[in-house]
Structure formats: structure tokens, C-alpha cells
Amino acid sequence: MRGQGISESVPFETITLEQCADDAVALLDHLGIEEAFFFGHSAGGFVAQLVALRHPDKVRGLILSNSSSGHRFTEEERREAKSPMLSDRASTAIQEIARTLFSPASLEEMLDKKRIEAHWMFLQKVGPYYMAPGNEDKFLPVMKYSLPSSRVMDHFVATLLPHFDLTDQLEWIDTPTLIIAGGYDWVCTPLASRYLAEHIKNAEFVLFEDCGHMPFIEDPERFIDVVVTFIRKILP
């Protein structure tokens, strides 16, 4: 998406989740594609939901993997659901690294070389915990194919994430939707995914009990089977 990977740099104020959704549809129009299945993982799922809300005629089906509507759960709700937490597995030092990067940063901090180094430390130290126990070694080999932008990540945490909440709009999504969650996912918990499944009309929920935030990497064969089965049920 804009500002990330090998996309050219753009002003931060143009990087919004809504704009990313419109960008995706603009790409379809450019390619002459009338409608498509939209797959969104994590924050990509935020964008996919907005595509379904802003451009419903373009969406044949929606696949939301390890994502959220932005709904805020109470501590009691999280406790009752036994939501996984980073503190269940990681040391205090690892938790502190995560806390630092998930805290909003000022523009001055974003541009600080130390902040960029902190992002690298986050990927090295916290990243493996995105996977379920036993799958930690699968994280870094995957990330070498990615080109994350530390400044865009900070922009997301500071500007976009605090205001993202589609709770009151989920009922407007009526496209067939597949929602996938990982049993050990502390980033976008199974509680958040179940909430999506309960509030999107035509949704089905699949839990990958032994996976974390990336079931498509942790259990790719089952993941592909679940997604292909969903698509085949919808296509003529």
C-alpha cells in the first residue's frame, strides 16, 4: 500500500485507511476488474472492511485473517474469553520493546535514527512471538521478503489506529465473509475475530487453534484449503 514496501513516499496526511481502500479499488479499475475477492490480514483487514463498506459492488467475497473491527473490549471481557497476551510467553524486556513501539511517537521521534533502530529490534525480538509456540522460527525468514517502513508504522500507531472503529458499521457489510483467527494471536485476538463474525451478517468463522498471527505461514496447507473451499462455495 501507499508509502510502504517499494511504493514511493507520499505525505503522511494522504496515508489513511480509507484512502488505501480507495487505492485498491482504483487498481481494480485500472486493470479492468469489475469485482474481486478481497483478502486482508491484520491491518489489511481494516482496509478490506472499508473496501466492502465504501465499494460494495466491487467485492465478491471478503476474507479477513487475524483482523479486528477496532471494537474496544473491557478487561473483564478479555479475561472471560481467555484472550492470549504477549505477557503469557514473553519476558518483561520483550514486553517493554513491544510497548515502546505500540506507543504513539511524535514526528521528531519518527525521524530519529534510534527510533528506526528500535523498529529493527522489535522485528528481531518481538516478531517471533507473533507466531504460536513452536513456530517462532518462521517469522524472520518471512519478514526478509517484506520492506516495512518504520515511519509509516509509527504513523499507523499514532494517527490511524487510535481512531479506527467500525463497530457501528459492521451490519452494513452483507458480502459473504470468511473470518480466520489464530488461537495464540495476541495482536488481533480470537475475541476480536469472533466479534467480526457475530456482527457481519453473512460470515463464517474458522479458528486455527495452534497458530498465532500468521496462520497462512504457520499452517499453510490448511489455510489454503479453508480459503479455496470458501471461494468455491461462492463462485458459480
The DSSP call for residue 156 is I
Q: Mean pLDDT for each 10-residue chunk of the chain (236 residues)?
A: 87 94 97 98 97 98 98 96 96 93 70 76 94 97 84 87 95 97 98 98 97 98 98 93
Domain count, the chain: 1
* Confidence at residue 105, expressed as pLDDT on a 0 to 100 scale: 66
Question: Does the predicted TM-score (pTM) go above 0.95?
Answer: no
Residue 76 covered by a domain? yes
Residue 5 covered by a domain? no
Residue 16 covered by a domain? no
Instruction: Name the residue range of residue 152's domain.
Output: 35-234
Residue 12 covered by a domain? no
Residues in Cβ contact with 45 at an 8 Å cutoff, skipping those fewer than 6 apart: 64, 65, 66, 67, 68, 188
List strands edge to edge, sheet with 177-182: 36-41, 59-65, 177-182, 203-208
Q: Give CA–CA dist 19/203, Å, rounded.
A: 25
CATH number for the domain that contains residue 73: 3.40.50.1820
Orientation angle between helical segments 17-31 and 43-54, nearest 10 degrees: 70
